[in-house]
Amino acid sequence: MYASPALNRLLSECADAVAAVRAGRSLTEVLAGVPPGARPGVQALAFHVMRWMGGADVVRQVLAPRTPPPRVESLLVTGIALLWPDADPPYPEHTLVDQAVTAARERTPAAAAFVNAVLRRFLRERTALVSKAQQDLTGAWNHPAWWVERLRKDWPSQWQQHLKLANLHPPMTLRVNARRQTAAGYLRLLQGQGQQAQLLQDPAFGGHAVQLSRPCPVDRLPGFAQGWASVQDAAAQRAAPLLLSGGALGSPLPVGARVLDACAAPGGKTAHLLEAADLDLTALDSDPQRLVRVRESLARLGLNAKLQVADARQTARWWDGKPFDAILLDAPCSASGIVRRHPDARWLRRPQDIVQLARTQDELLQALWPLLKPGGRMVYATCSVFMAEGQDRIDAFLQRPQAASALLDAASPGHLPPLLDNPPVPPGSPASVSGDGFYYALIHRLP
C-alpha cells in the first residue's frame, strides 16, 4: 500500500500530465511514468481536467491573455477546470486554490502570486467568465471546434447528446471467461463480495457480459489474476459473437477454423474469440510492445494464439499463403467512440488525422480481403462515431472492383453511438448498459 501524497503534489503531477497532453503525448503513456503511490490520484484529477479543459482554456485566455510558460499555464488550466461550477469539483474551492498556489510555489516560485490572483479572480467572476466561455464552441462543449462540427454533421439530431455523454464516467463492464466460469456463477461471486452487478442479457454481447454498478480496481475482482474475467466494454464484446456466428447469412465457424485478428492489441477481442471457440488464431500487431500486452493477457486467461509483429497491410512479409476462414479487422481509428474512457483523445486528434486514418482503414480492407477464402467472412470494426471511419469506409470498399465478391450482412450493427437509447439494448434492460461508440460491418465473401 502507498500513502496518498499531499494534494499539492497531485496537482503538480496533474499539471505536468496536462502539459504533456497539450504537447501531443498520450495521457496513458504519461500516467505510466507517475510514481505508483500518486498514480490513482493523478489519474482522477487528470481525467477531470481533460473533460473540462475546453472551457478552462478559454477562461485562461481571458484572465491571462499573454500565454504563461507551459508549467504555469498547465497549472492554471488544471485549477480552473477543477473549479468549474458544473463539474462536481473533487475538493472544496478554498482547498484547491490553496494547494494550487503551494504547487506553484514549488514548481515556479515567481509565479505563485500570479496563480493565486488568477484562480481567485475566477472564483469572484466565475458566473460571468463561464458564460463568456460558453459562447465559444470549444468552451461550450469541451471538445475541439472541428470535433463538434463533425459530430453535428454526422449526427444532426444527436450531436449534443454525444458531447454531453462524452463527459460522463463510463460503466465498468466485465467479460467472464467462459472456459473458467459461467456468467451467472461469476455474478454470484461478485454479489458474495457485496458488489452490485447485472448480467447483460442481449445475446449480441455473447452471454458473458457483466456490468458493475460501481467501478472497482481489478485486484478486487474475484479470480482476476487467475483469468476468470477481464474488463471489456459491452460494445467491444459484440465483435467475437458477430464473427463467430456469421450473422444472418453465415453459419457458426467450425472447430479449428483459421482466424486472423489483424490489429490485435491490446488483445481483448483476441481473448474473447478464444474463450468462445477452439480456433487456429493468428494475432497481428505492428507494435511489438503492444503485442506484449496481448501475450500477457492470453497467459493470464490460459489461452494460446500465434502472435506476430507485422503491419497487416504488408501481407507479403507475414502471410503464409493459406486463406483464412474469418478475419477480424479492428482498424486503427480516432477513438472518438471511447472518449469517455480516454478523455485526452479529443485534445490529441487533429482534423487531418481523420483523413489519414481513413486512408489506413481503406488500405487494410484492400490488403486483407484477398486473404479471405471464398465463403469466408470479415468483421470490420472501429471504436469511432465518425462516419468517415465507419459507414463511409464500407460504402467506398463495396464500390471497388475487388469487392465484387463481397456481400454486406443485414445483421451488421453499423454505427452504435454511445447513447442511452442505443437500439441494441433489449426492452426491459437498464438504460445504463449503453456501451462505447463503435462501428461494425460483417462482410461475406461469396463462394
Catalytic amino acids? 383
Residue 25's CB is within 10 A of a number of other CB atoms, namely 15
CA-wise closest residue to 260 among 297, 302, 310: 310
With H, G, I as helix, E, B as strand and everything else as coil, classify residue 309: strand
Residues with Cβ within 8 Å of 367's Cβ and at least 6 positions away in sequence, in order, are 312, 313, 314, 315
In which residue are the cell numbers 465498468 written? 172
Separation CA 120–CA 103 (nearest Å): 15
The beta-strand segments (E) located in 219-323 are: 229-231, 257-261, 279-285, 306-309
The beta-strand segments (E) located in 92-201 are: 172-176, 197-199
H/E stretch holding 96 reads helix 93-107
Query: CB pairs under 8 A, 24+ apart, for 420-424?
Result: 420/165, 424/202, 424/204, 424/238
Residue 326: beta bridge partners? 259, 377
Separation CA 242–CA 222 (nearest Å): 28
